[in-house]
Amino acid sequence: ASKKLLLLPGDGIGAEIMVEVEKQIAILNRHAAAGFETETALVGGCAYDAEGAPVSDATMALAQAADAVLLGAVGGPKWAGVAYEMRPEAGLLRLRKEMQLFANLRPAICYPALADASSLKREIVEGLDILIVRELTGGVYFGEPKEIVDLGNGQKRAIDTQVYDTYEIERIARTAFDLARTRRGKVTSMEKRNVMKSGLYWNEVVTRIHRDEYPDLTLEHELADAGGMKLVKAPKQFDVIVTDNLFGDMLSDIAAMLTGSLGMLPSASLGAADAKTGKRKALYEPVHGSAPDIAGTGKANPLAMIASLAMGLRYSFEMIREADALEAAVAETLEAGIRTGDVMAPGCTEVGTGEMGDQVAER
């Protein structure tokens, strides 16, 4: 059966890095009979310019029908004055919302060749491979009431509400355990059960799902603040970290800095499994943005985008061997001293976007 990939290059460097992903897809089709069929559509500012909306209904339908969506990046100074609901980011938010992508996966991988770019010492991060699973559609960013109330005595009250229902915790917990099963079998759940009811309940539900459905895996619990300390002190003790929307936002940005370079980090956002087919909606994208400062110069690092494809192979298509091979090709290219400007180091050879993509494809 063919595998449908929707490519959404987006704005800025998005189009440049997507070309490099297409090279890897061509190699997979040619040498691994992968059977990928790709279709390309607009998202972000370019979609607003050409189609009048940051993501059109037609593109939404393509995204819903695809087996996986690969997205470059959206946004840029050109659209700074555009109405709020038409801004480039609104296209990305609509995709996430309508595809119900509740699980955000952010790996923090530190390639040995880049360990010196980390904010931490080489021995602490070299070979690091952890996966942060952040709940993306619930919690305090979305809970009601959410308002600023005038108390009438010269005081106002700002209210955000942390809300988690049983099903929301269950599905993110199952996602984390399923992922851990394909890795080193360990999940660390982070919350603040000592001061938050939602933390107490999060802990209870994750513990039950582990006991009833994944007793063969290891589950540990950390208070999110202490977990954050351990993440920078000795990150290699973790395998999969599962946490809520707010803590996950912070912990995944902290973890990103362990690895040193924004141009290297992929991400995945997964939805629920379809009751009939078992397939999950999925969107894969680099963590970085559209980098307008270097767009059009051929300097963009395509490796985060390529690593996002590798995540897609792993999580949407169960092509584990191919994902491993693609990730190994990225590591070997870096090991050979081939670098784009953002990760350039003494003694290495600086190449542009296209040459970097070619080097990976060749390996």
Residues binding Mg ion (CB under 5 A): 249, 253
Distance CA 170, CA 103 (A): 12
Q: Out of 91, 107, 263, 271, point to the residue binding ligand NAI (CB under 6 A).
A: 263
Instruction: Phi first, then psi: give them for residue 71, nearest 5 degrees.
Output: -120, 135
Q: How far is the CB of 92 from Mg ion (least distance, A)?
A: 13
Residue nearest to ligand NAI (CB): 289
Residues 69 to 88 in contact with ligand NAI, rule: CB under 6 A: 73-76
Cβ contact 9:59 at 8 Å: no
| H-only helix segments in the chain | 14-32, 45-51, 57-65, 88-98, 122-125, 166-181, 197-213, 224-233, 245-259, 303-316, 320-335, 353-362
Cβ contact 5:37 at 8 Å: yes
Residue 220 interface partner, choices Mg ion, ligand NAI, none, CB cut-off 5-8 Å depending on type: none
CB atoms within 10 A of CB 167: 11
Taking the least distance from each CB to ligand NAI, the nearer of 219 and 329 is 329
Q: Is 212 helix (H, G, I), strand (E, B) or coil?
A: helix
Check residue 274 and report its DSSP letter.
Answer: P
65 annotated to a ligand binding site: no
Residue 73 interface partner, choices ligand NAI, Mg ion, none, CB cut-off 5-8 Å depending on type: ligand NAI
Q: Is 91 helix (H, G, I), strand (E, B) or coil?
A: helix
49 annotated to a ligand binding site: no
Q: Which residue in the list 165, 225, 274, 324 is annotated as catalytic?
A: 225
Q: Give the residue carrying structure tokens 């999060």.
A: 202
**Does 304 contact ligand NAI by CB under 6 A?**
yes
Q: Contact region for ligand NAI (CB under 6 A) — 113-121, 152-160, 297-305, 322-330?
A: 297-305
Residue 124 interface partner, choices ligand NAI, Mg ion, none, CB cut-off 5-8 Å depending on type: none
Cβ contact 282:96 at 8 Å: no
**Does 269 contact ligand NAI by CB under 6 A?**
no
Beta bridge partners of 21: none
Active site residue 141: yes
Cβ contact 39:62 at 8 Å: yes
Q: Which residue in the list 49, 129, 160, 249 is annotated as catalytic?
A: 249
Active site residue 225: yes
Q: Contact region for ligand NAI (CB under 6 A) — 115-123, 154-162, 210-218, 283-291?
A: 283-291
Distance CA 340, CA 288 (A): 15
CB atoms within 10 A of CB 147: 11
Q: Which residue in the list 192, 214, 281, 284 is annotated as catalytic?
A: 192
Residue 107, preceding peptide bond in cis (omega within 30° of 0): no
Taking the least distance from each CB to ligand NAI, the nearer of 92 and 99 is 92
Active site residue 230: no
Residue 270, CA distances (Å) to 284, 308, 331 in order: 9, 13, 25
Active site residue 201: no
Q: Out of 292, 298, 337, 352, point to the residue binding ligand NAI (CB under 6 A).
A: 292
Residues 310 to 349 in contact with ligand NAI, rule: CB under 6 A: 342
Taking the least distance from each CB to ligand NAI, the nearer of 74 and 105 is 74
Residue 294 interface partner, choices Mg ion, ligand NAI, none, CB cut-off 5-8 Å depending on type: ligand NAI
Q: Give the residue carrying structure tokens 């007793």.
A: 215
152 annotated to a ligand binding site: no
Active site residue 216: no
Residues within the interface to ligand NAI (CB under 6 A)? 13, 73-76, 89, 92, 262-263, 285, 288-294, 300-301, 304, 342
Q: Which residues are catalytic, by number? A: 141, 192, 225, 249, 253
